[in-house]
Amino acid sequence: MYRTLISTAVLAAFVVPAAQAQGAGNYPSKALRMVVPFPPGGGNDILARTLGQRLSEVTGQQVVVDNRGGAGGALGATIAATANPDGYTLFLGSVGNLAQTPALKADLPYNPVRDFAPAALVATSSFMLAANPSVPAKTVQELVTLAKASPGKLTYASAGAGSSLHMAGELFKFATGTDLLHVPYKGSGPAMTDLISGRVQLVFSTMPPVLPQVKQGKLRAIAVTTLKRAAAAPDVPTVAESGVKGFNVSNWQGVLAPAKTPAALVKKLNADILASLKLPGMTEALAVQGLEPAGGTPEEFGALIKSEIAKYTQVVKAARITVD
């Protein structure tokens, strides 16, 4: 399957010689293409268009979003990885296709470290640990005590085996020494429906679907999974401050270029993206999606990718997670 993807991606990519080392000059001097490895309308697509609009304002060049869904994001990633490294093809990668999927599958047609030049971390968001109100635990410590008293009895829903929400749950189990029963669904919608009805008891969810249910009293927020409290739910404590020291699981997205893209172009791209994140209204536009602006250097983004691959590889092995 993935050999076919490689062939398809190579044919789809711009087949031109690799760019020679060069200065940033007047880069960019033409439209930029941002490959999104998912169909239009989803969270990654919305973020790409939000960022693309601001990046266009900063650079004076159009940013064309190129949706290349397929194979769980592998097709789009491969197309971007094999594109001409001239700075004009970008990739909006995420924790899923840059860290979690590589931890799950050894036969991917791309390598997130070898085949990309990280440019900038764009946005981060927290997952929320929420419970059906029938669960007596109101804090992380109460939940851990309850789970240890009845191993394998408490259930948590996810959007599917190997999904970010599944990974968050397994990392929580690993960090707390608890035994929660994973119940995979085909998407977050069905999972949320069964959580509200009480068929399952817990969920690790992105903010947009769960926060309205918490505000309406249909679910109880227990904690968020990042080291800092989420701007969208400032009154909800973190797992780390609730007694699980160092616990940090985040959803993140960033922009990368093909490997061998000249360092001067990557540096300029980083500066332009950081300027885009600081434009008026950008923080508010991201907040609507449950995201917070990030930033940092290309080197810091690269280090994050490597550390996240190591983290998820460890949890995949420990939990013996497999996907078809």
Mean pLDDT of 101-112: 94
Q: Could you tell me the pLDDT band of residue 2, with boundaries at 50, 70 and 90?
A: low
Sequence-separated (6 or more) residues with CB below 8 Å from residue 38: 44, 45, 67, 69, 73, 76
**pTM given for the model:** 0.87
Q: Do domains 2-125+250-319 and 127-224 have the same CATH topology?
A: yes
pLDDT at 17 over 70: no
Q: What is the predicted pLDDT for the residue at 21?
A: 40
pLDDT at 10 over 70: no
Q: What is the predicted pLDDT for the residue at 148?
A: 97
| CATH number of the 2-125+250-319 domain | 3.40.190.150
Contact 110, 72 (CB under 8 A): no
* 34-87 pLDDT tens trace: 999 999 988 899 999 999 999 999 999 999 999 999 988 899 999 999 999 999
Distance CA 230, CA 92 (A): 23
* 264-293 pLDDT tens trace: 999 999 999 999 999 999 999 999 888 999
| CATH number of the 127-224 domain | 3.40.190.10
pLDDT at 204 over 70: yes
Q: What is the predicted pLDDT for the residue at 8?
A: 47
Q: Of 137, 138, 157, which is closest to residue 147 (Cα–Cα)? A: 137
Q: Which uninterrupted H or E stretch holds 251? A: strand 250-258
Sequence-separated (6 or more) residues with CB below 8 Å from residue 62: 31, 32, 56
* 161-189 pLDDT tens trace: 888 999 999 999 999 999 999 999 988 88
Beta bridge partners of 275: none
Sequence-separated (6 or more) residues with CB below 8 Å from residue 234: none
Percent with pLDDT over 90 in the chain:
82
Q: Which uninterrupted H or E stretch holds 204? A: strand 202-206
pLDDT at 16 over 50: no
The single residue listed with the structure tokens 């929420």 is 130
Q: Of 35, 154, 162, 121, which is closest to residue 307 (Cα–Cα)? A: 121
* Residues making up the chain, counted from first to last: 324
Per-domain boundaries in the chain? 2-125+250-319, 127-224
Sequence-separated (6 or more) residues with CB below 8 Å from residue 14: 83, 84, 89
Q: What is the predicted pLDDT for the residue at 23?
A: 74
* 293-310 pLDDT tens trace: 999 999 999 999 999 999
Helix (H, G, I), strand (E, B) or coil at 106: coil
